[in-house]
Amino acid sequence: MNRHMGAGLVALALTLTACTKAPVAKPAPPPKVVVVAARQQDEPIYREWIGTTEGDVNAEIRPKIDGYLLRRDYPEGSFVREGQLLFEIDPRQFDAQMAQAEANLEQANAGLAKAQRDVARFEPLAAQKAISQQELDNARSAERAALATVDAAKASVEQARLNRAWTRVTSPISGIAGIAQQQVGDLVNPQAVLTTVSKVDPIRVRYEMSEQEYLQYQRDPQMHNAQLQLILSDGSVYPRPGRILLSGREVDVKTGTIATIGLFPNPGNVLRPGQYAKIRAVTHVVRGAVVVPQRAVNELQSVYQIGVVGPDGKVEVRTVKTGDRVGSLWIIEDGLRPGERVITEGFSRVKPGMTVAPVEDTAAGVAAATVR
Is pLDDT of 370 > 80? Answer: no
What's residue 247's pLDDT?
Answer: 87
Is pLDDT of 254 > 70? Answer: yes
Give mean pLDDT, residues 200-229. Answer: 88
What's residue 365's pLDDT?
Answer: 53
Give mean pLDDT, residues 42-64. Answer: 92
What's residue 56's pLDDT?
Answer: 92
Angle formed at CA 262 by CA 257 and CA 268, multiple of 5 degrees:
145
**C-beta atoms surrounding 366 within 10 Å:** 10
Is pLDDT of 366 > 70? Answer: no
Task: Report residue 46's pLDDT band, with 50, 70 and 90 as the boundaries.
Answer: confident
Q: Are 302 and 291 in contact (CB under 8 A)?
A: no
What's residue 371's pLDDT?
Answer: 47
CATH 1.10.287.470 correct for 92-164? yes
Per-residue HEC secondary structure of the chain comes to: CHHHHHHHHHHHHHHHHHHCCCCCCCCCCCCEEEEEECEEEEEEEEEEEEEEEEEEEEEEECCCCCEEEEEECCCCCCEECCCCEEEEECCHHHHHHHHHHHHHHHHHHHHHHHHHHHHHHHHHHHHCCCCCHHHHHHHHHHHHHHHHHHHHHHHHHHHHHHHHHCCEEECCCCEEECCCCCCCCCEECCCCCCEEEEEEEEEEEEEEEEHHHHHHHHHCHHHHCCEEEEECCCCCECCCCEEEEEECCCCECCCCEEEEEEEECCHHHCCCCCCEEEEEEEEEEEEEEEEEEHHHCEEECCEEEEEEECCCCEEEEEECEEEEEECCEEEEEECCCCCCEEEEECHHHCCCCCECEEEECHHHHHHHHHHC
Q: pTM (2 decimals)?
A: 0.68
Task: Report residue 17's pLDDT band, with 50, 70 and 90 as the boundaries.
Answer: low
Q: Are 219 and 194 in contact (CB under 8 A)?
A: no
CATH 2.40.50.100 correct for 63-90+167-193? yes
Mean pLDDT of the chain: 87
Which residues belong to CATH 2.40.420.20 in the chain? 32-47+286-371
Q: What is the CATH number of domain 32-47+286-371?
A: 2.40.420.20
- The mean-pLDDT minimum among 27-31, 123-127, 143-147, 316-320 falls in 27-31
Cα–Cα distance for residue pair 4/10, rounded to 1 Å: 10
Q: Are 241 and 249 in contact (CB under 8 A)?
A: no
What's residue 118's pLDDT?
Answer: 86
Which residues belong to CATH 2.40.50.100 in the chain? 63-90+167-193
Q: What is the pLDDT of residues 151-191, one digit of tens each?
A: 999 999 999 999 999 999 999 999 999 999 999 999 999 99
Which residues belong to CATH 2.40.30.170 in the chain? 204-285
Percent of the chain past pLDDT 70, that is, above it, reads 90
Q: What is the pLDDT of residues 350-363, one digit of tens each?
A: 889 988 888 987 76
Hey, what CATH class is 204-285 in?
A: mainly beta
Q: Is the peptide bond between 265 and the residue preceding it cis, with omega within 30 degrees of 0?
A: no
Cα–Cα distance for residue pair 317/308, rounded to 1 Å: 6
Q: Are 179 and 198 in contact (CB under 8 A)?
A: no
Is pLDDT of 133 > 90? Answer: no
Is pLDDT of 72 > 80? Answer: yes
Give mean pLDDT, residues 83-97. Answer: 95
